[in-house]
Structure 1
Amino acid sequence: MLSGLLSGKQAFSQPLPIKTLTSGMHLIQAEVAATDASRTRGLMFRKELAPNHGMLFVFEQPNIQCFWMRNTLLPLSIAFINDDGVITNIADMQPMTENSHCSTAPVRYTLEMEQGWFAKRGIKAGSKITGIR
C-alpha cells in the first residue's frame, strides 16, 4: 500500500503507519503524521498520490490548525476534523505557496487529499470521517 502512496525517494527513513478511513461509502488510505517531524514534512516533495490516498495529521490537542504549501508540488484539499470526526471546513491549497489555510474551529486532525477529492464525492463541512481513532 505505501509504495502506491510514495513517489520517487522514500520521504521518511521509516514508513509512516497507514490507516483506513471512511466517509460514507468512500475509503481513504491515509499515512498518519503524528510526530513533529512527520507533520513538518507532510506531503512535501511528493510528485503524485495514488487514488484515494492522503495524509492524516494528528495533533496532541485541539487547536486552530494552519497549513501552507511550501515545497509541496501537488495541489491538495485539506479537511479540518474535530474530535468527533466531523469536518469543520475544507480548503483547496495551491502548490508551492505560503498562503495560510486554517481551521475555522479548534481541531485535532487534518486530512490532505488530491485537490478536489472531497468535492467530487460530496464531502463537505459537517460530513464525518470515521476510523481516525
Structure 2
Amino acid sequence: MRLLVLLALLGLLALAQGLTFPRSTLYVEGNGKRYPLKVEVADTPERQAQGLMFRKSLGEDEGMVFLFPTPTAGGFWMKNTLIPLSIAFFNREGIVLRILDMAPCRADPCPVYYPGVVYQGALEVNQGWFQRRGLKEGARVGGEALRLWPR
C-alpha cells in the first residue's frame, strides 16, 4: 500500500511539473493481422506514476505503453483515471501474457489490478480495443516504441 501512495504522489508531482511523454508507434499482432497504434511511452517511474491520469479521452488507435527495466508482478490502479481502459501485460519478447479491463476511479479506495503473471511491459488502450480485434493472450507487441525500453 505504501508503494501505491508513493506512486500516486509521484504522479501528482509529475502532473504539476508538466511531465511529457515520448511519442512513438507500436503494433499488436494476432489472428494473422497487425494492428498499429500511436503511443506515449512511460519509461520512467515518474511517467509510469502519472500514466493516463486526468485524461478525458484517448483516440481509438492510441495508447500508452509502460516499459520496465526488469520483470515485475506489480499491479496497476486507476486513481484519477477518467477513461475505461484495457491493459495487456507482456514479456520482454512482446508476448501478451494477460489482458484485463480496468474501470475509472476518482476516489479512494481504488482497486488494484494485478495480472497474476510476471511481465516487463504493459499497454493501455480504450476498454474493449483488444476484444474488438479478437486479440487474446499469446498475441505479440512490437514496433518502434520498444526501442525505448530502459536498460
The TM-score with structure 1 as length reference comes to 0.86
Q: How does 1:4-83 map to 2 (within 5 A)?
A: 13-24=18-29, 25-83=34-92
Q: What is the aligned partner in structure 2 of residue 86 from structure 1?
A: 95
Consecutive unaligned residues of structure 2, counting only runs of 5 or more, are 1-14
Q: What is the aligned partner in structure 2 of residue 127 from structure 1?
A: 139
Distance 1:18 1:12, change over 3 A: farther
The TM-score with structure 2 as length reference comes to 0.76
Secondary structure, counterpart of 1:58 in structure 2: strand
Aligned partners of 1:88 and 1:104 also within 8 Å: no
Runs (4+) off by over 6 Å: none
Tell me how far apart the structure 1 counterparts of residues 20 and 113 of structure 2 sit (CA, whole Å). Answer: 27
Aligned partners of 2:56 and 2:83 also within 8 Å: yes
Tell me how far apart the structure 2 counterparts of residues 19 and 85 of structure 1 sit (CA, whole Å). Answer: 16
Aligned partners of 1:67 and 1:102 also within 8 Å: yes
Aligned partners of 1:29 and 1:52 also within 8 Å: yes
Identity of paired residues, percent? 40
Deviates further, 28-37 or 102-111: 102-111
Which structure has greater helix proportion? 2
Q: What is the aligned partner in structure 2 of residue 3 from structure 1?
A: none
| Greater Rg by CA | 2
* One-letter amino acid of the structure 2 residue matched with residue 16 of structure 1: F
> How far does residue 52 in structure 1 lie from its aligned partner after superposition?
0.5
Secondary structure, counterpart of 1:46 in structure 2: coil
Tell me how far apart the structure 1 counterparts of residues 35 and 82 of structure 2 sit (CA, whole Å). Answer: 25
